[in-house]
C-alpha cells in the first residue's frame, strides 16, 4: 500500500484507477488493458498502479467487484416500489439487459470471463449480494405457489435465455433496436407463460 495515505484516500485512489481501467476496456477492449497502459492513461508513473494492485489479475478482481456492486445497486433501485414478485423478476431482467447494452465490456468481464485461481472474498461477497437480490423474488414467488420452479432451477434457465438474447443482439442477428425490443417482449411473455402457475 502507498505510504502516507489514509485508508479512505487509498480506497479513493483505487476507485479512480478502476474507473480509468473500465474506460480503457470499454474503448479499446480487454486485451489493451495493462498496468502500464493504466499508468499512462491516468497520468502517473509506471510503478504507481502497482502500489494499489499486485498485478493485472488483482486489477480485474477490483473491476469485477465494482461491476457487481454497480449492477446490484441498479437492481435494488429498479425494484423500489415494485410489490409483485413476478413484476420484480421482469424489472430485474430488464435492468440486466440495460447493463449489458450500456456497459458491454464490463458485462463480458462479469459474465463471460473466468476468474484465474480462487475467487477473492470481496469478489465472492459482491457476487453473493447480486445473486441474493435476483433470487429473492424468485424464491418468494415459488413459496407463494406462483412459480413452477425453485430459484436454483429457474435462475439458470432465465439467465441462459437472456444471455442468448444478448449474444444474438451483439452478433447483429436481431436487426435494429426496435426489433430487439420486440423479441425481448416476446421472450418475456413466453418465459412467463412457461414458468408462472397463476397470476401474481
**Grid cell in block for residue 175:** 436487426
Angle at 195 between CA 192 and CA 200, to 5 degrees: 65
Structural contact between residues 162 and 97, judged by C-beta atoms closer than 8 angstroms: yes
pLDDT, tens digit, for every residue of 151-182? Answer: 999 999 999 999 999 999 999 999 898 999 99
Structural contact between residues 51 and 1, judged by C-beta atoms closer than 8 angstroms: yes
pLDDT, tens digit, for every residue of 20-71? Answer: 999 999 999 888 999 999 999 999 999 999 999 999 999 999 999 999 999 9
Comparing 14 with 195, the larger pLDDT belongs to 14
pLDDT, tens digit, for every residue of 128-147? Answer: 999 999 999 999 999 999 88
- Would you say the C-alpha torsion 110, 111, 112, 118 has a positive or negative sign? positive
Q: How much is the pTM?
A: 0.89
Question: Please, which residues have CB within 8 angstroms of residue 75's CB and are 6 or more apart in sequence?
Answer: 92, 95, 96, 130, 133, 134
Q: Where are the domains of the chain?
A: 81-195
CA 39 distance to own-chain centroid: 25
Amino acid at each position: 500500500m502507498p505510504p502516507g495515505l489514509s485508508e479512505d484516500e487509498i480506497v479513493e485512489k483505487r476507485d479512480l484507477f478502476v474507473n480509468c481501467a473500465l474506460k480503457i476496456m470499454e474503448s479499446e477492449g480487454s486485451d489493451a488493458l495493462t498496468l502500464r497502459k493504466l499508468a499512462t492513461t491516468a497520468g502517473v508513473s509506471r510503478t504507481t498502479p502497482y502500489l494499489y494492485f499486485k498485478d493485472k489479475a488483482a486489477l480485474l478482481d477490483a473491476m469485477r467487484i465494482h461491476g457487481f456492486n454497480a449492477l446490484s445497486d441498479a437492481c435494488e433501485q429498479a425494484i423500489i416500489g415494485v410489490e409483485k414478485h413476478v413484476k420484480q423478476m421482469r424489472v430485474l431482467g430488464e435492468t440486466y439487459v440495460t447493463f449489458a447494452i450500456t456497459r458491454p465490456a464490463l458485462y463480458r468481464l462479469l459474465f463471460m470471463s473466468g476468474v484465474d485461481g480462487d475467487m477473492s472474498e470481496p469478489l465472492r461477497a459482491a457476487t453473493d449480494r447480486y445473486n441474493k437480490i435476483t433470487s429473492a423474488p424468485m424464491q418468494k414467488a415459488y413459496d407463494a405457489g406462483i412459480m413452477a420452479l425453485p430459484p436454483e432451477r429457474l435462475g439458470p434457465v432465465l439467465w441462459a435465455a437472456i444471455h442468448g438474447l444478448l449474444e444474438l443482439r451483439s452478433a447483429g442477428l436481431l436487426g435494429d433496436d426496435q426489433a430487439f425490443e420486440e423479441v425481448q417482449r416476446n421472450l418475456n411473455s413466453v418465459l412467463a407463460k412457461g414458468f408462472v402457475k397463476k397470476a401474481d
